[in-house]
Structure 1
């Protein structure tokens, strides 16, 4: 465990491999933490890469520097934190892998600051939210799978997360990875990160902001405006998608392929759910090595 201060965060991160190696940044999602990369990071470090695995804002030991900072989990904030961490660590360019919230940060970095990203492994394709279009309802099946997001829009949902973040996270793990037989100990190791004092506030703001029900942090408004154009991703990319994903199952047609204008490939992972790096770490390692080799 290491720490470094950025402009907003006292950022916690784990580092593997030689300090002078080519950088790789691995980004977790909600409700997960860096434990999802426990089999990925050492494999990359053994090949000489410098591997950085941060705790996102609101998770684990990461803390805000100021009590006055909005506890925002909006997509622009996550991307800003990623770039700020790279700046603080003196990393000019890095390969990135992420899914869910972390995949969103990595996709935004690749789209808006491609000079900082050598390669991208993304879970579930083009992960950048189209917030202006979020008011349009989706298919009934998709709306059903997103029940937790609508729950978080309400005071009842906020109170429910505050009261039992451990139980709610465990339920989402089961629903989103129905074929993965994780142990209580595996879940508990990650769920410890949800005890962060800002976890609930960051999560609630994230799910409300993406539907236009909560204001964003004014400091990130320029990033949000740039994302409204749904910018293309030009860096070499591999899209990993678990075909047993319970929250975001893969479509028959690759509906986000047109968002990737450089080298691009979608790889479907049989029997794998939403937590790709923990369920199939070798798929993440292979994808990164294929892009960086």
Structure 2
């Protein structure tokens, strides 16, 4: 299960789940939408068994104590600063860690690596390529079609009406949406139940609504990078995935998982753990 504690940044309090020995090499795990640290449980427990110290925060909007109002509060600069606050708590203000992110967590990880490369031993991005690769792929058409939901999520109130729980333990419509994208029933109900908390769905959607407030994408990544994509991903096209290497000026490895959906950490924890462990061993920092 891991142990749970909190990390503060200003008046925000983040719930953080830890797995593994306190003296293990630190690995920061960043989740995506609409998930929490629980989505990393399978990978974190496996890495902990190999001696790594895994630290997985419920990020801004997902931790009940870190749910500020307004979309501007969810700009990428704030999300990166939150990740740095967790890193500071784990390894000190000058320390370094391996950083792993999935979905929106990968976007934060790319930005963290681009802006603060000295804080990373290595980067592992799962599913989502660098933002510049996404933008370039969108101009080709298929990625723009796959990303239609990102525009819909930015309309105030629209997604809340479509995916809200309406007082139920979880939203059946959100569960159905996640299931169509390849998520298991158990994981979809777990994540939908978290989104049923007061204010949680709007806070999570604010990550999309803050895109217009986020400054330019970082330059080329200069830390050793592993990028893992799956051919069953309905949100990220092959076009976008195959552009990732253009934005990395460091050792880079691209791995495609066959027959796996977008939800790689939940669906393929053994494969993903093996890839991460190999990457960390090759680049201990």
TM over 0.5: yes
Measured against aligned partners, the alpha-carbon deviations of 1:52-88 in whole angstroms (never above 9, x if no partner) come to: 01111111x44138x6786633322221110111113
Q: Deviations over 1:148-197 (max 9, x none)?
A: 222223245144156347344324423332xx5x13x3322232321343
Q: Secondary structure at the match of 1:270?
A: strand
TM-score by length of 2: 0.84
The answer on 1:261 being equivalent to 2:261 is: no
Q: State yes or no: 1:124 paired with 2:127.
A: yes
Equivalent positions of 1:1-293 (< 5 A) are 1-59=4-62, 61-64=63-66, 72-91=73-92, 92-124=95-127, 126-128=129-131, 138-160=139-161, 163-164=164-165, 166-177=171-182, 182-183=184-185, 185-210=186-211, 212=212, 216=213, 224-225=214-215, 228=216, 230-251=218-239, 254-293=242-281
Q: Secondary structure at the match of 2:74?
A: coil
Length-normalised TM-score, structure 1: 0.81
- Pairs aligned (count): 272
Whether the aligned pair in 1 keeps the contact of 2:128 and 2:241 (CA below 8 Å) is no
How far does residue 259 in structure 1 lie from its aligned partner after superposition? 0.6
Question: Once structures 1 and 2 are overlaid, which stretch shifts more, 15-24 or 3-12?
Answer: 3-12
Q: Summarize the Cα distance change of 1:2–1:192 in structure 2 as closer, same or farther, 3 Å threshold.
A: farther
Q: Is the 8 A contact 1:123 1:239 kept in 2?
A: yes
Q: Aligned residue for 1:220?
A: none
Give the drift of 1:98.
1.1
Distance 1:141 1:229, change over 3 A: closer
Query: Comparing 191-200 with 117-126, which one deviates more in the overlay?
Result: 191-200
Cα distance, 1:118 vs structure 2: 0.6
Contact 2:69 2:203 in 1 (8 A): no
Contact 2:230-2:264 at 8 Å conserved across structures: yes
Cα shift at 1:236: 0.9
* 1:27-76 CA-partner distances (Å, limit 9, x unpaired): 110022222222111111111111101111111x44138x6786633322
The 8 Å contact of residues 153 and 204 in structure 1, kept in 2 or not, is answered as yes
Which runs of 5 or more residues in structure 1 are unaligned? 217-223
Mind listing any 5+ residue stretches in structure 2 that lack a counterpart? none
Contact 2:71–2:206, Cα closer than 8 Å, also in 1: no
Relative contact order higher in (CA < 8 Å, ≥ 6 apart):
1
